[in-house]
């Protein structure tokens, strides 16, 4: 079976360039044909891109997450535009709102989120969206500002009713290893019910390790556990599910 990991923080798994190469090569040996690297700020993006630029099966997103709202960097909008001209940069992200950690203030987070949504529209790129304890505001903003290319609600954490509203927009819903947790009933219910062609999976490495690997740091090579769990939830063959997820991943990122 083949997998497309739509969200992995390779730079947070390890800062060592050689180890980063080992991580992505190990994932490929386990069937992860492609993955999208995600960084929280532009400095981390630049370092990671340089480390992995020879890996032609690796794609990248560029953006400023809520955690960096207080220090987005000088001329950050111009730098994002420049970054999207690099090979295999396929999305703006991760961007969004995080009211749990209380990064900066809410107005600053909202402004940063909206400005990057506007950039994504200008650049004709999809967005990768972070939402933590901010579901209502995220959805309200996306109803007005979601780029035509759409986007991904990554590491989905809301319920099925929220998912139905999101699916009225040009959004995909991406599940991470937390869907496998015993108490994740809302996630499991959503993963069972949403259309398969609007679903994605991600490792969210080094976070959200699948339940079978609890106690370890997550890595992309564990994504098969998430896929197999969802296949069992939906009562479909794992290969059927993974092929649908793979096709949806190519579609959302505009890849052939």
Whichever domain contains 238, its CATH number is 3.20.20.140
Residue 69 predicted with pLDDT over 90 = yes
What's the order of all strands across the beta sheet hosting 3-8? Answer: 3-8, 32-37, 58-62, 89-98, 127-132, 151-153, 171-175, 199-201
As a whole number, mean pLDDT of residues 154-169 equals 97
Residue 256 predicted with pLDDT over 90 = no
C-beta of residue 27 within 8 angstroms of C-beta of residue 220: yes
CA 37 – CA 219 distance, rounded (Å): 12
Residue 102 predicted with pLDDT over 90 = no
Residue 254 predicted with pLDDT over 90 = yes
Residue-averaged pLDDT of the chain: 97
Residue 121 predicted with pLDDT over 90 = yes
Quote the number of domains for the chain: 1
Give the domain extent around 241.
3-252
Q: Phi and psi for 126 in degrees, rounded to 5?
A: -75, 165
Residue 101 predicted with pLDDT over 90 = no
As a whole number, mean pLDDT of residues 146-175 equals 97
Q: What is the pLDDT of residues 167-206, one digit of tens each?
A: 999 999 999 999 999 999 999 999 999 999 999 999 999 9
Global pTM exceeds 0.75 = yes
Q: Assign 36 a pLDDT band (cuts: 50, 70, 90).
A: very high
As a whole number, mean pLDDT of residues 97-125 equals 96
């Amino acid at each position: 079976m083949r997998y497309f990991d739509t969200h992995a923080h390779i730079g947070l798994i390890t800062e060592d360039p050689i180890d980063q190469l080992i991580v992505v090569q190990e994932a490929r040996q386990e069937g992860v044909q492609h993955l999208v690297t995600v960084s929280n700020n532009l400095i981390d993006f630049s370092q990671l891109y340089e480390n992995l630029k020879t890996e032609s099966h690796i794609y990248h997103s560029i953006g400023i997450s809520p955690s960096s709202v207080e220090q987005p960097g000088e001329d950050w909008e111009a730098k994002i535009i420049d970054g999207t001209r690099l090979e295999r940069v396929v999305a703006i992200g991760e961007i969004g709102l995080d009211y749990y950690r209380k990064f900066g203030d809410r107005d600053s987070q909202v402004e940063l989120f909206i400005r990057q949504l506007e950039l994504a529209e200008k650049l004709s790129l999809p967005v990768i969206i972070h939402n933590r304890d901010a579901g209502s505001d995220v959805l309200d903003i996306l109803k007005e500002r979601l780029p035509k290319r759409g986007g991904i609600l990554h590491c989905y954490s809301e319920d099925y009713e929220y998912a139905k509203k999101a699916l009225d927009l040009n959004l995909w819903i991406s599940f991470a290893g937390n869907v496998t947790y015993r108490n994740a009933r809302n996630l499991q219910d959503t993963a069972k019910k949403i259309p398969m062609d609007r679903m994605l999976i991600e490792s969210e490495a080094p976070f959200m390790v699948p339940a079978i690997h609890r106690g370890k740091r997550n890595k992309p090579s564990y994504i098969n556990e998430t896929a197999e769990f969802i296949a069992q939830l939906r009562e479909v063959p794992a290969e059927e599910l993974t092929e649908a997820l793979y096709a949806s991943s190519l579609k959302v990122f505009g890849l052939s």
